[in-house]
Amino acid sequence: MKPTAANLAGLSKRCKLTCAAAAAGLLFAVSGAQAQALTPKQESIIPIAALTAEGDAARLKTVLADALNRKSMTVNEMKDVLLQMYAYTGFPRSLTGLGVLVNLLDERHAAGITDEKGREATPLPAGTNIRELGTKTQTELVGRPVKGPVYDFSPEIDTYLKEHLFGDIFSSDLLTHQERELATISALASLPAPVQLRSHLNASLNVGLSPEALREFTEILRRDVGSTEAALAQTTLDAVLAQRGAK
């Protein structure tokens, strides 16, 4: 059958509608991906680290339970976040957080709830030079070798940073460097420690967290922690992105 002008016009109209719908669907998918820049695990890390830094045991228990209920983190991953916190918030806050987790797990076990413990961290190869490993990790995070008058004045703090924080703690592969930086900036925004927050927002970008992910981080802080912490994080992030020429 020879196509008529009317048939061709109808076909053209249907094609335009189909293409428009497909384009709209693609736009929605892309927009959704941008809006959801963080994984469920990363989302859970933010309030856990922030509330540990603030010493808010009651709210920390709530967000730990939420992460366990959603299965966004294993017990060992949570433990690693709380352990890392001692390097940024001190032993008292870290120990309090670990105690909250232990008590919560006991309560859940008594209620018949079995939580996923998760795997252990992969052991480092025998003979690993922990200072070399820590120095390499620190350089990758900062984007250059770390030197300066503070480290000249206190070589001890340089050793603790390179060997213990970036060597011993960051070498655990239960958390990625992106996840560890999210934990760090969450704690620093909550202490507050604005100078170090700026440094670690730069480090977060250096390890591959996008501006969209960091904007989502500030919104999760606002929702789950507080407006004051979120405002500091947002203001500092805006300054960092402006300096880097990022959008």
Instruction: Give the tens place of pLDDT for each residue, 207-244.
Output: 999 999 999 999 999 999 999 999 999 999 999 999 99
pLDDT at residue 246, rounded to an integer: 73
pLDDT at residue 33, rounded to an integer: 39
pLDDT at residue 36, rounded to an integer: 56
The structure tokens listed for 243 are: 């300096």
CA pair distance 62, 147, nearest whole angstrom? 40
- Inter-axis angle of helices 40-54 and 75-89, nearest 10: 40
CA pair distance 135, 147, nearest whole angstrom? 11
On the question of pLDDT at 65 being above 80, the answer is yes
On the question of pLDDT at 21 being above 50, the answer is no
44: Cβ–Cβ under 8 A, 6 or more apart, which residues? 63, 66, 67, 70, 72, 73
- The model's pTM: 0.84
Going from N- to C-terminal start, the domains of the chain cover 40-117+173-246, 126-172
- Inter-axis angle of helices 177-190 and 211-224, nearest 10: 50
Under DSSP, the state recorded for 115 is -
Round the average pLDDT of the chain to a whole number and report it. Answer: 90
Pick 18 or 240 by higher pLDDT: 240
Pick 34 or 175 by higher pLDDT: 175
Chain-centroid distance of CA 119 in Å reads: 20
Q: Which CATH number does 40-117+173-246 carry?
A: 1.20.1290.10
pLDDT above 70 as % of the chain: 85
Give 195's pLDDT tier (boundaries 50, 70, 90). Answer: very high
pLDDT above 90 as % of the chain: 84
Give 247's pLDDT tier (boundaries 50, 70, 90). Answer: low
CB 34 within 8 A of CB 215: no
CA pair distance 49, 59, nearest whole angstrom? 11
Average pLDDT over residues 119-139: 97
Convert the pLDDT of each residue in 23-60 to its tens digit: 444 433 333 434 458 999 999 999 999 999 999 999 99
Measured in degrees and rounded to the nearest 5, phi and psi for residue 31 equal -60, -40
